[in-house]
């Protein structure tokens, strides 16, 4: 996908966390996409891996210091919205930070003023122009049938949700549930990077006690593979169409 690649294994980057999740490669890839400089994480970090929340989000601050202006995040998520299907791509318009309700927020602790303010606003966490750009490009690419918009809810994991938990998340207004992204978004926004985020709906959560369905990571990986090409195309087209005031890293 990227031209002129320079690749660093996470294990060779001092103080960088290591990917422990099957399917997360653990490489930082620099390169260009249609002439635009980009850096991609192949593998991210999650609360359930046991890392402190500040370590999970360290890459965001590194990207800021490298000159990154826009962050594009993707994740695999379980569909709560009854209109969603496996394989849908949801443009995230907002989030519910469940660990944050219990005080588990990546900005807890002394505020580093070099990055941002003590009390950052999150009502504009997901850049509206970029959301619209993603939707427009999705339509242009012919993804209309499986392109959705919605609210992503993060939980700590690693256990998938119970039926009662799924029912309450749905009632709270979440359209999809996952185990990542939100902490990265908070740190990226704190330091002023623009954010657009996409969820691939890899499974539909179980909300019915008569259902025999069971969430599992293999299905998540399998469903991710099915849409990988289309998601990559959407992300790369967004990258090439983002306005860059300083023409910096994405
Ligand atoms: O890193 P993401 O959020 O895409 O990974 C999802 C959530 C869990 O880590 C895992 C569950 O199968 O996939
Ligand atoms: N928490 C959670 N994360 C997921 N990642 C992919 N599917 C799911 C899911 O159903 N629940």
The DSSP-derived string for 7-56 is: EEEGGGSTT-----STT---EEEEEEETTEEEEEEES---GGGT--HHHH
Domain annotation covers residue 57: no
* ipTM rounded to 2 decimals: 0.97
Domain annotation covers residue 221: yes
Mean pLDDT value across the chain: 95
Domain annotation covers residue 139: yes
The verdict on the CB of residue 155 being under 6 Å from ligand 2 is yes
Q: Is the pLDDT of residue 153 over 80?
A: yes
Domain annotation covers residue 59: no
The label of the residue with tokens 């978004």 reads 185
What is the count of structural domains for the chain? 1
Task: State percent of the chain over pLDDT 70.
Answer: 97
CA 185, CA 178: separation in Å to the nearest integer?
14
Residue 72: strand pairing partners: 196
Q: What is the CATH number of the domain that holds 196?
A: 3.40.50.1580
Alpha carbon of 35 to ligand 1 centroid (Å): 31
**pLDDT, position 34:** 83
Q: Whose alpha carbon is nearest atom 12 of ligand 1?
A: 217
Domain annotation covers residue 161: yes
Range of the domain at 162: 71-241
**pLDDT, position 245:** 58
Please tell me the pTM assigned to this model. 0.95
CA 84, CA 52: separation in Å to the nearest integer?
33
Q: Which residue out of 74, 76, 77 has the highest number of ligand 2 atoms within 8 Å of its CB and is therefore the one to mutate?
A: 77
Q: pLDDT tens digit string along 58-104?
A: 999 999 999 999 999 999 999 999 999 999 999 999 999 999 999 99
CA 210, CA 197: separation in Å to the nearest integer?
33
72 near 235, Cβ under 8 Å?
Answer: yes
Q: pLDDT tens digit string along 183-212?
A: 999 999 999 999 999 999 999 999 999 999
């Amino acid at each position: 996908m990227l031209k002129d690649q320079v690749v660093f294994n996470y294990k060779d980057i001092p103080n960088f966390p290591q990917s422990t999740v099957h399917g997360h490669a653990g490489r930082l890839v620099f390169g260009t996409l249609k002439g635009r400089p980009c850096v991609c994480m192949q593998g991210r970090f999650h609360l359930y891996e046991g890392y402190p929340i500040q370590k999970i989000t360290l890459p965001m601050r590194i990207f800021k210091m490298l000159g990154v202006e826009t962050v594009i995040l993707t994740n695999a998520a379980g569909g709560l919205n009854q209109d969603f299907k496996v394989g849908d791509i949801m443009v995230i318009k907002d989030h519910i930070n469940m660990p944050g309700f219990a005080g588990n927020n990546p900005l807890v602790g002394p505020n580093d003023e070099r990055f941002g303010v003590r009390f950052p606003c999150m009502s504009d966490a997901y850049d509206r122009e970029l959301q619209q750009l993603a939707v427009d490009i999705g339509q242009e690419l012919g993804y209309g049938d499986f392109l959705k918009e919605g609210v992503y809810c993060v939980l700590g994991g690693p256990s998938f949700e119970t039926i009662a938990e799924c029912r309450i998340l749905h009632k709270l207004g979440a359209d999809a549930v996952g185990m990542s992204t939100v902490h990265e978004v908070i740190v990226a926004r704190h330091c002023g990077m623009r954010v657009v985020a996409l969820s691939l709906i890899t499974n539909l959560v179980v909300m019915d006690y008569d259902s025999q369905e069971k969430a599992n990571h293999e299905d998540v990986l399998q469903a991710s593979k099915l849409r990988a090409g289309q998601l990559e195309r959407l992300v790369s087209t967004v990258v090439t169409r983002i306005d860059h005031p300083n023409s910096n890293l994405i």
